[in-house]
Amino acid sequence: METPQPLRCSLEGPEFVDRIEAWREVVQRATFRGMEGDRVVAVYPNDAQILGRLRELIAAEAECCSFLLFDVEESPDAILTEVRLPDGMPDSTRTQVVALFG
pLDDT digits (tens, 9 = 90+) for 2-48: 545 678 888 999 999 999 999 999 999 999 999 998 999 999 999 99
β-strand partners of 84: 39, 69
CA 68, CA 86: separation in Å to the nearest integer? 7
Pairing of strands 39-45, 78-84: antiparallel
Which residues have a Cβ under 8 Å from the Cβ of 98 and sit 6 or more positions away?
Answer: 35, 40, 85
Q: What percent of the chain has pLDDT over 70?
A: 95
Q: Which of 40, 30, 36, 20 is nearest to 84 (CA)?
A: 40
Q: What is this structure's pTM? A: 0.88
Q: What percent of the chain has pLDDT over 90?
A: 69
* Average pLDDT value over all residues in the chain: 91
CA 45, CA 4: separation in Å to the nearest integer? 37
CB 79 within 8 A of CB 58: no
Predicted local distance difference test score (pLDDT) of residue 13: 93
**Confidence band, pLDDT 50/70/90 cuts, at residue 93:** confident
What residue type is assigned to position 37 of the chain? G
For the residues 50-58, what does the mean pLDDT come to?
97
For the residues 96-100, what does the mean pLDDT come to?
89
What residue type is assigned to position 23 of the chain? W
DSSP 8-state secondary structure symbol assigned to residue 34: E
